C-alpha cells in the first residue's frame, strides 16, 4: 500500500487498492487535482503504455480494441529495436527520387504503389515539403529528443511495472559497404552531439570484434556505426505484460470490439464498441494508422498514413545463437535482431494503403537478405514466420501527440518506424499534457497544430 499523502509514482508495487485516497490529491505538489475518466482506443504500444501512465497519474482508464488481445497488429512482430541511433525521418532530401523510382518495382526498399496515389496526394506533397535539408535536420532532432526521453522513461517504467519482455541492452551495429555513406552517417551523428546519443564510428575490425557473426562480410564492409544507446525487446510480449500489470491497477480492457465515435455538440459523447456505449471525460485515439479513419468521424484531419513493413521470424534456437547483437544494414535497409528465443529480420516500407496482405516478393527479398548477411545460417523457408504491419507515418516523420481541435479528443500516433522506440516517452508526454502537468520535453514539435 502507498502511505497516506505519498505519491504512488515513487512506489513500484502497485495494485488497484493503492490508488484509494490518492486519486484526488497530489502528495508531491500538495494541490488538489481532478481525476478524469479516460477511454483509449487501441491496445498496441501507444495505447497500452498510455493506459499505464494515465492510471498511475490517478485517472480511471478503459482501453478498447477490435483485436482479441493487446499488441496484435503493428506492435506484434516489428523490428524489435528501441533505436535513438536510427531516428532520422524517412523523408530525407532526395526522397522523392526514391519514391518515383519505386513505381513498378516490387523489390524497392521504399515503394509507392500506383493505386494509393489519389489518397496520398495532399499528404505526399507535405511529405516532400518536409524533405528539405533544414526541415529534415529539425525533425531529426525532434525525433532524437523524444527517443532519448522515451528510453529514460522506459527504464523507470520497467522498474515500476516489473515486467519481462526479452530486453537486450548491447547496442546495435549499423554496417556500411560504401565509405561515402559511412562518412555521411558519421557527420549526421556529429550534428546531434549534446543530445545524449551514445554513438561512434568503428572500423571493420572493431565491428567484427563487437559482432563476430559478420566475419563472412569482412571484405565487403567499409566500417560501421556502433549505436551504444540502442536496446531490443519483444514489443508484443511487452504489450501483453504491461496490459496485465495495468489491469492489476484497475485499467479495464475491452477486446474484440469494433469502435466508432459518437459526437454531440462538437465533442465526443461516447465510444461505441461491441454494441455498447462507453462514456468518459476524455478520449484518446492510439490506433496506429487507423487513427486517421477514426479521427475523420470527429471531423479532425489527422495527417497519418499507413506504411507497410515486413518481418520474418525464426524461432530455431541454433540460428538465434548466431548473432550476439542487432545488425542494421544501411545499404539493404533492413535490421536483424536476436531475441531471447528467436531471430528476426525486418525492413522495407510499402505505401499500399490499408492492404495488410503479405507480398511474397517482399518475403523472399527479406529471406534472401538474411542469407546474404548471415550465410552461416540455414534459414529454412519452411521455418520462417512472415508478418507485415502498417506503421503510422506522419508527413514530417515526427509523432503526433496531444490535443485536437475537439476539446475532449486526444491523439497518440504518427511515430512511423519509431513506435517501439518512442512508446514510453510518447505516453508519458500525453499523460502530462492531459493532466495539466509541466511537460518533460517541449510538446510543440509533436503537436497536431503544426499541420
Residue that wins the pLDDT comparison between 4 and 183: 183
- % pLDDT > 70, the chain: 86
> Once rounded to an integer, what is the mean pLDDT over residues 230-234?
96
**Which of 72-86, 136-150, 186-200, 382-396 is predicted least confidently?**
186-200
Say what the pLDDT of residue 17 is: 40
pLDDT, tens digit, for every residue of 399-418?
999 999 999 999 999 999 99
Say what the pLDDT of residue 92 is: 83
All three cell numbers of 166: 526479452
pTM, 2 dp: 0.90
Q: Exposure pattern of 307-332 as b/e (b: 16+ CB <10 Å)?
A: bbbbbbbbebeebbebbebbbbbbeb
> Once rounded to an integer, what is the mean pLDDT over residues 201-220?
96
Residue 1 pLDDT > 80, yes or no? no
Q: Please, are residues 347 and 332 in contact by the beta-carbon 8 Å criterion?
A: yes
- The DSSP element (H or E) to which 284 belongs, if any, is strand 282-285
Say what the pLDDT of residue 111 is: 54
Q: Please, are residues 346 and 309 in contact by the beta-carbon 8 Å criterion?
A: yes
Q: Please, are residues 130 and 95 in contact by the beta-carbon 8 Å criterion?
A: no
Say what the pLDDT of residue 18 is: 38
Residue 20 pLDDT > 60, yes or no? no
Q: Does domain 83-119+167-232+308-393 have CATH number 3.30.9.10?
A: yes
Burial of 361 per CB tally in 10 Å (0-12, 13-18, 19+) = exposed
Say what the pLDDT of residue 15 is: 45
pLDDT, tens digit, for every residue of 101-156?
545 555 555 555 545 555 567 888 888 889 899 999 999 999 999 999 999 999 99
Chain centroid offset of residue 9 CA: 24
Residue 33 — pLDDT band, cuts 50, 70, 90? low
pLDDT, tens digit, for every residue of 169-199?
999 999 999 999 999 999 888 877 667 788 9
Length of the chain: 451
The residue assigned the cell 480492457 is 253
Positive or negative torsion for Cα 363, 366, 370, 372:
positive
Amino acid at each position: 500500500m502507498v502511505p497516506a499523502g505519498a505519491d504512488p509514482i515513487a512506489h513500484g508495487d502497485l495494485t488497484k487498492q493503492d490508488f484509494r485516497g490518492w486519486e484526488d490529491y497530489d502528495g508531491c505538489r500538495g494541490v488538489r487535482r481532478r481525476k478524469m475518466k479516460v477511454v483509449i482506443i487501441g491496445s498496441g504500444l501507444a495505447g497500452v503504455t498510455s493506459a499505464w501512465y494515465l492510471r498511475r497519474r490517478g485517472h480511471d482508464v478503459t482501453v478498447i480494441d477490435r483485436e482479441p488481445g493487446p499488441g496484435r497488429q503493428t506492435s506484434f512482430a516489428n523490428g524489435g529495436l528501441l533505436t535513438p541511433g536510427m531516428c532520422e525521418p524517412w523523408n530525407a532530401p532526395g526522397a522523392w527520387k526514391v519514391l518515383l523510382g519505386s513505381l513498378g518495382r516490387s523489390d524497392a526498399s521504399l515503394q509507392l504503389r500506383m493505386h494509393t496515389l489519389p489518397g496520398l496526394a495532399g499528404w505526399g506533397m507535405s511529405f516532400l515539403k518536409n524533405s528539405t535539408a533544414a526541415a529534415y535536420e529539425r525533425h531529426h532532432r525532434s525525433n532524437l529528443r523524444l527517443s532519448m526521453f522515451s528510453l529514460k522513461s522506459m527504464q523507470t517504467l520497467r522498474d515500476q511495472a516489473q515486467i519481462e519482455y526479452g530486453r537486450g541492452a548491447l547496442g546495435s551495429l549499423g554496417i556500411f559497404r560504401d565509405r561515402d555513406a559511412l562518412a555521411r552517417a558519421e557527420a549526421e551523428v556529429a550534428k546531434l552531439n549534446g543530445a545524449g546519443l551514445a554513438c561512434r564510428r568503428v572500423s571493420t575490425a572493431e565491428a567484427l570484434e563487437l559482432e563476430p557473426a559478420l566475419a563472412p562480410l569482412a571484405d565487403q564492409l567499409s566500417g560501421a556505426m556502433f549505436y551504444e544507446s540502442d536496446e531490443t525487446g519483444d514489443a508484443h510480449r511487452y504489450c501483453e505484460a504491461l496490459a496485465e500489470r495495468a489491469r492489476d491497477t484497475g485499467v479495464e480492457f475491452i477486446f474484440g470490439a469494433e469502435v466508432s465515435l459518437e459526437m454531440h455538440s462538437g465533442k465526443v459523447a461516447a465510444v461505441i464498441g461491441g454494441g455498447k456505449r462507453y462514456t468518459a471525460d476524455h478520449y484518446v485515439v492510439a490506433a496506429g494508422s487507423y487513427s486517421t479513419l477514426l479521427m475523420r468521424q470527429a471531423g479532425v484531419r489527422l495527417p497519418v498514413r499507413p506504411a507497410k513493413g515486413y518481418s520474418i521470424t525464426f524461432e530455431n534456437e541454433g540460428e538465434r545463437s548466431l548473432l550476439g547483437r542487432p545488425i542494421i544494414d544501411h545499404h539493404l535497409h533492413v535490421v536483424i535482431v536476436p531475441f531471447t528465443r528467436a531471430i528476426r529480420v525486418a525492413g522495407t516500407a510499402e505505401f499500399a494503403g490499408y492492404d495488410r496482405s503479405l507480398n511474397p516478393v517482399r518475403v523472399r527479398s527479406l529471406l534472401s537478405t538474411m542469407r546474404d548477411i548471415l550465410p552461416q545460417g540455414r534459414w529454412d523457408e519452411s521455418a520462417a514466420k512472415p508478418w507485415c504491419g502498417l506503421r503510422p507515418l506522419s508527413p514530417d516523420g515526427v509523432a503526433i501527440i496531444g490535443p485536437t481541435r475537439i476539446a475532449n479528443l486526444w491523439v497518440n500516433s504518427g511515430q512511423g518506424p519509431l513506435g517501439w522506440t518512442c512508446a514510453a516517452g510518447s505516453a508519458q508526454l500525453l499523460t502530462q499534457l492531459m493532466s495539466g502537468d509541466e511537460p518533460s520535453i517541449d510538446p510543440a514539435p509533436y503537436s497536431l497544430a503544426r499541420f
